[in-house]
Structure formats: C-alpha cells, structure tokens
Copies of this chain bind each other. A is one copy, B any other.
Amino acid sequence: MIRILGIDPGSQRTGIGIIDADSNGASHFIHCEAVSLLKAESFPERMGLLAEALDRIIAEHRPQQVAVETVFMARGAQSALKLGQARGAALATVVRAGLPVHEYAPRLIKQSLVGTGAAEKTQVQMMVATLLKLEGRIQADAADALAVALTHAHGNAHATTRQLPPDWRGRRRGRR
C-alpha cells in the first residue's frame, strides 16, 4: 500500500487529494480538500498559507509520494505567473518534506482515467468518484488533485518505490 498526495496548485484555491494505492491496482480514498488562499492579506501571505496547509496535511496523513500536473500552457503571462507561484510554493514545500514528486501531463491524466486524452473535465471527475467510491459532489480542485494521484497509482507508484534508492528525492520517472 502506498499513500499518494495529489496536488492541483492554484493561486486562489489549491486542490489536495490523498489516496492509498494497493499493489493490485485498487485505490482507496483517504482525504481531499480545497485550500482557500483568499483569506491571506497579500500574495506572499497566500504562498505562506499554501505551504502551511501542505505541511499540516503531510504531518497528518504522512503521504509517501507526490503527484502533480505539469503545466505546458496557461492563458497568458499574468495567469501563468500566478499559477506558477502557487505551483512553486507547493513543490518547494513537498520537496523540503523529503517527498518524491512525479509530474503528469493533463492529457495523460485524462487518458489514464477516462481512456482518452481528449476527455472532458466532468468525465474525469465522474471517474474519480467511481474509482474511489465517493458519493455526492467533490469540489472541482480537490477532484483534480485526486485525479493526478490516481494517475500516479495506475502508472508507476509501486514500480517507482521498489526501484528507487532510499535517498531518492523528486527525480522524475513519470510515464510521458
């Protein structure tokens, strides 16, 4: 059993999802939440809040691996800058906590969960709920975080762990 922390970074709200992945391919829901950063009084404070929330969640749930979506495109430089800052704050925090980080492209996440890289966001969210036996609506950012965690579980969470030396930290071995 491997515990995976999925992160969907955002500068207003960051989605967090934690699952346990069986070696036989099944995954179990552990936790999800959408961390709101809007109560911070400045943008730097938001990044501090995000790091603080991740530290709290890591301490509480003790994930062993981290999965995060790659970002190849953003709608313009301004939104790329904001998204980038949230992503950087999250990456710095999990790497500092000693966790290996795996990155997955959005198309691969859709492919892994729905079977086609062109799937709609709602289809991905429905598959997340089905695979983790969740009832009711999941907040969208939290669902995206669970989706990337599931992609890592389907991909190489177990293979990765077996192959890596103890001092391994964050080298990318994601299927691309």
Contacts and interface: CB of A to CB of B under 8 A. Distances in A.
Give the number of times this chain occurs in the complex, counting copies: 2
Contacts of A44: 68, 91, 94-95, 101, 103, 170, 172
Question: Which of A71, A79, A95 is packed against the most chain B CB atoms within 10 Å?
Answer: A95
Given A44-B68, A85-B91, 6 more contacts: A42-B170, A43-B91, A51-B93, A86-B88, A88-B90, A89-B91
Contacts of A132: none
B47 A88 contact: yes
Contacts of A90: 88
Question: Which of A44, A79, A85 is packed against the most chain B CB atoms within 10 Å?
Answer: A44
A106 interface: no
A175 to B, nearest CB: 15
Interface string A62-88: 000000100101111111111111111
B74 A80 contact: yes
Contact of A170 (B45, B52, B80, B95): B45
17 contacts: A41-B171, A42-B101, A44-B91, A45-B95, A45-B101, A45-B169, A45-B170, A48-B91, A48-B169, A51-B92, A74-B81, A82-B84, A84-B88, A85-B85, A87-B88, A88-B89, A89-B92
